[in-house]
Amino acid sequence: MDLKEIKRQYKQKTPDMGIYQVKNMASGKIFVGRAMELNGKLNSERFQLKNGMHMNRELQQDFNELGMGKFSFDVLDRLPSKESPDHDYSQELKELEEMWLNKLQPYDGKGYNKKKL
């Protein structure tokens, strides 16, 4: 297989999309999010937390106090890919996230997410 074929196959590969959670194992609180590329997003969450740069201040504060060992980073659900490599998954991913937010209710004392108005 030549380099052009490898590049072509890579471009046609659908990323691993879905819903993830960051869980505080000490309190049970969770942060739920969606990602077009799960592995990359989970790595980004870890990096931001380790470096004190996470957008969610409450999650960051708990992480600073407890450390990496008290948090898990998990995939909750994966969005199956379609036949077409050009398919726009953003709406389906948003709906899947809303389903998980409704199911888990990660707000207030149960989680780090903020309710959307």
In order of their start, the domains of the chain are: 17-105 (3.40.1440.10)
In the predicted model, what is the mean pLDDT of residues 89-93? 92
pTM metric for this prediction: 0.85
Rounded to whole angstroms, what are the CA distances from 11 to 6, 41, 79?
9, 19, 18
Among 2-11, 20-29, 47-56, the minimum mean pLDDT is found in: 2-11
41 vs 82, residue with greater confidence: 41
Residue 4 scores a pLDDT above 90: no
Structure tokens at 10: 């890579």
